[in-house]
Amino acid sequence: MYETGYGEELNVSKARYWYEKAIENGHLKAICRLGITYYEDEEDPESAERAFFWLNKSSEIPDAEGCYYLGMCYHEGIGIERSPGMALKYLTKSKDLGYEAAETAIATVYYQNPN
């Protein structure tokens, strides 16, 4: 709710607070959602590293959406050096877990890295 502003005023700080509380209580999907809040934050220079940290944890669960966003971190160089190979690894894992958007992202990585 706070992350999207649906039903509440948009407040990413509150969203992160509640995701952290959820993680403390064992809610695994909150790990991915917290990582995404950092992935989408273009204002804070430290967000890239935090996004990578939380999305990497999410991929270990494994969470399909978390694997997708971790693959995009590798593809775009968010919080980590760009690596098409690692991007494909995590995007493929995401696709295999049923995250449909990963298929388009895989094609994009291949298209932008023809070697």
Distance, in Å, from the CA atom of 100 to the CA atom of 115, rounded to the nearest integer, reads: 25
Within a domain: 58: yes
Across the chain, which has 115 residues, the per-10-residue mean pLDDT values are 55 91 97 97 93 98 98 97 98 98 98 89
CATH number at residue 35: 1.25.40.10
Q: How far apart are CA 36 and CA 115, in angstroms?
A: 30
In the DSSP assignment, the letter for residue 8 is S
Residue with tokens 């990582």: 35
Look at the chain and report how many structural domains it folds into.
Answer: 1
**How many CA within 13 A on the CB side of residue 60?**
7
Whether residue 80 lies inside any domain: the answer is yes
Q: What is the pLDDT of residue 73?
A: 98
Q: Answer yes or no: is 101 within a domain.
A: yes
Residue 31 is assigned to a structural domain of this protein: yes
Q: Which residue has the tokens 């809610």?
A: 27
Distance between CA atoms of residues 69 and 13, nearest Å:
20
pTM: 0.91
Q: Does some domain include residue 4?
A: no
| C-alpha 15: how far from chain center | 15
Q: Do the domain assignments include residue 6?
A: no
Residue 54 lies in a domain: yes
The residue among 20, 62, 60, 61 whose CA lies nearest residue 38 is 20
For residue 33, the enclosing domain spans: 12-112
